[in-house]
Amino acid sequence: MNTQELINKIEQLPSNLIDKKVVIAKDSVVELVKQLDERPKVEIPRFMSDWIEENRRNFKRALLELVKECYEFVFDEYTDIHLWFLDKEIDSFTILVNAHQFGYEVEQEQLYVVAIPDEERGDVIQLWKNAEGKLCLNIESEVRYGRAYKLTEQEIKNRDERLWHFAKLVEVE
């Protein structure tokens, strides 16, 4: 049910006139409001969520600037934000406006572990993130799945594209 349908149904509810005021049963109105379709929140990547939060106070200006940058920059100057915005498979402009107006949910990024077998030693060389957020390689006796070892595709590829070959998807808990 949309807003106009809700208004029409409320107008059709039986009512009593008491001292020039209309009295309607609260339960009837609550039941109708529960049927009102809420606009579903759009899902956006974490980096777009960060962009919206950084630009919340001047959203319109920032959005216009983003559009301008997308058509002025050369390809190698594009950030993930520009590439997402220019993706022809999504209506990024509408998604951004709706996210700003009606709220959004951050897409759950898939996480991976990177473990390179060291057959000579019988160990694995594993990529992990230290407390400062720096990606490091460690020798482990077995593949570890702790929080420090779960990385996004972008983090892995930023460290070294060749590591992506060894990435294994971690099941979402």
Q: Give the pLDDT confidence of 82-140 residue by residue, as tens digits.
A: 888 888 888 999 999 999 998 999 988 889 999 999 888 899 999 999 888 889 999 99
Mean pLDDT for 154-167 is 92
- 30 and 48 co-located in one domain: no
More reliable by pLDDT, 123 or 28: 123
Using alpha carbons only, how large is the chain's radius of gyration in Å? Answer: 26
Is pLDDT larger for residue 54 or for residue 86?
Answer: 54
* pLDDT > 70 in the chain, percent: 91
Structural domain span for residue 19: 3-34
Burial class (CB in 10 A: 0-12, 13-18, 19+), 71: exposed
48 and 84 inside one domain: yes
Residues 118 and 161 in one domain: yes
Nearest-angstrom CA–CA distance, 26 and 34:
12
Strands 167-169 and 135-140: unpaired
Q: Is the overall model pTM greater than 0.85, yes or no?
A: no
Same domain, 13 and 68: no
